Structure 1
Amino acid sequence: MSVFAKAKASRSARAAWTGVALAGVSALLLSACATGGTPETETGEPAESGDALPIEAGERDLTLKIGTILPQSGTLAFLGPPEEAGVALAAQEINEADLGINLEVVYRDSGDTTTDIATVSVTDLLSQDVSAVVGAASSGVSFTVIDQITAAGVVHFSPANTSPDFTDYDDNGLYFRTAPSDLLQGEVLGNLIAEDGASTLGMLVLNDPYGTGLAGALKETFESAGGEIVAEELFNTGDSNFDAQLSAINAANPDAVAIITFDEAKVVVPALVGSGYPGDQLYFVDGNLSDYSADFAPGLIAGAKGTLPGPKLEDDFRERMLAVDPNLADFSYGPESYDATVLIALAAYAANSTDGADIAEYLRQVSGGSGDGETVTDLAAAFEALAAGEQIDWDGPSGPITLDENGDPTEATIGIYEYGDDNTYARVN
């Protein structure tokens, strides 16, 4: 039996999570499939259109410069290549469209929260007069630079930030993301673990806005399903010894363990399984759902599952990303990075301006969150419609998106994945 969870959520409603429903919006709908399988969640339904900003018809002659702060180093470095490839692919296709906007990208490292690399990178990007900054991947890193970026009147757009704390952050209307809040991922993961038959759960949790936010949503959902959290062990970025946390989890003997980490999974997972805990009872999250074929002994985590925001990756988009970076082994958040870049360019085109504040004014509109625009999935067609003065609703490889009044996507899918004997993962829903 599988669970399909659908929740229609506004940004304010998601802040009032109950574990069973999104208060004031709609109850969580559960349906079953006789064939078995795994849960998938979507939030759907565009926000109210509101008053559409005008789009001037006519040709454009814009040069738009954006910067990236994506992880070239640190505990999320495995996400850097697909995210940078998504940005590069968008820039390439926008420029090839040759419709009056030229996109320049300056790539910089975000590092992680143990370094000050992101601050240095942002300072450099702002000195180059970028209109927008794409990144960071880590919610914790984004919180260290969001004020610096938005105070400069520059759009801050992350393809991978999932901390619920961004929802109500005072960002001067300049922060956006194409990744859904972890209230949604936590809901899906909690239901998955309960559906798989676990009644007790242990959690190893990164002590930062991402880790604690996701753990809180997971805990709420799992307990609402009748489960019990028997161990909740925290660690900090930069920690290298996890003996105390793993001993506490083993002592609690949970039916399942959720590993809410980044790259630390390469250390904690072999240690936990080596101590006797079954590898097929582990659950991974977007921060560590990765190819471990070169890191773990064959079969170490065969049967383990994990969650990752985003629809199933289409073969055409995969091939286009590989054309940009033939060495890609992971595609996580590549579609979200592509769409973040495209939306920034579409908003600049709609505003006929490269000013950050002007771009921000149009971002929700071109995403379909307002304006009642026609759905468009072809890049050239999107720019051509704007040049004709028409409203658009961009739906890209990461899904419909539909940004709400504060920059959160109101439509998203959480995929379920399972590891095989080679310690690589495949989508199973």
Structure 2
Amino acid sequence: MRQHRSTPPAVGLGAAALLSAAVALAAAIVRHPFDAPPHDAGAQRWDVLVPLALAAVLACGWVAAVKAAPVYDTLPAVAARTGIPARLGPLRRDWGRIAATYLVVWAPYAVARSAYGTGGSRLGVALCAVTFVYGLVPSLYGIGLLTRQLEAPHRLLRKDAAAGRVHALRVRVGTPVRQDYRTPARKGTGKVDTHTTYAIDLVPDTGPAGRVRFGPMQGANFRIPNGERHLAHAAARLGGHTGWLCWPALWKEIAATDRRRTVPAALVTDSGHVVWGETYEEDWGPWLRGGNVPLQATEAAARARPLARPSRYTPGVHSRTLVLLLAAALVAAPALLGVGPRIVAVLLGAVAEGLIVFTSVRLAWPDTSRAIMRPDLWKLRTESHPSLR
């Protein structure tokens, strides 16, 4: 399963679909001054239905445009470069994902407001309050998507590179690995939990034998999936490339204050790309503690940029998501048209809210995350807790 390029038609259609959905949600939340109040029986909400229908059409066009776009292939290898770029580009904000995240978490509140207005009953007040909190908490939690895309340790590494000195090791991009670690869930239940991590095996040119595992950049809020997808795209396009694995000058202080004992790292390839990630203690220890990776100067005029982001569309994930959201819109349509008694509108609104909440929760399921991470790309390694061996 290869990833498609993000083309201007796909970007335009996707942005227009999100904008139309945002207009529909805003109309559902804010009363239209020329219409009957949303909670009055018989009120026809064309101000909600028209942009909602337009969003559905544009979303279908987005899927078609993505599927028609060319796919990304592995980048051809280039000649080795001796210098280390001083200017390392940060990750770019994914505005489409940010907008989609906020729309999905606020959709239940929009449905509740459309059905109940400012309340109208104790049940209406309670439902509006619950859905408002459901939208507010993830919105505050996701502020990190709007702020810096690199955590403080990675910003320190970027600053060290710009200042002219980093610890650097020549490596070759090796095998992408998915590690499944199995542990017993609870005593006597017979269930087993599986913790999945992703990493790229980097093969050093010299020094201690073995590989260096290069894992995804971690972060607060919703930036963890960003780091994993950033790593997956790099693994797909940079296989076999050579470059520099860079660590910050203050690696010892960072490791001492990190509970997972990881050190931020940047893979700077000879093709002029930078991949942000982190290394684990068992991997950076033999190199940094042993003094095998001295500080090296960076080239002030050289620059490395992240790979161009592919389309975020993933077959089997976004197709089902769009179907579920379309089903929620169809269920809510009779209520928005003012058809039937009030109790029917309330029940249909509750069903639509349930579908939207189920859709948002489903996007966080482990199976969904594995599908987005492209299962065909990674070599599987399985390890078990001693009690399961």
Q: TM-score, normalised by structure 2?
A: 0.28
Q: Which has the larger radius of gyration?
A: 2
TM-score, length-scaled by structure 1: 0.26
More helix by share: 2
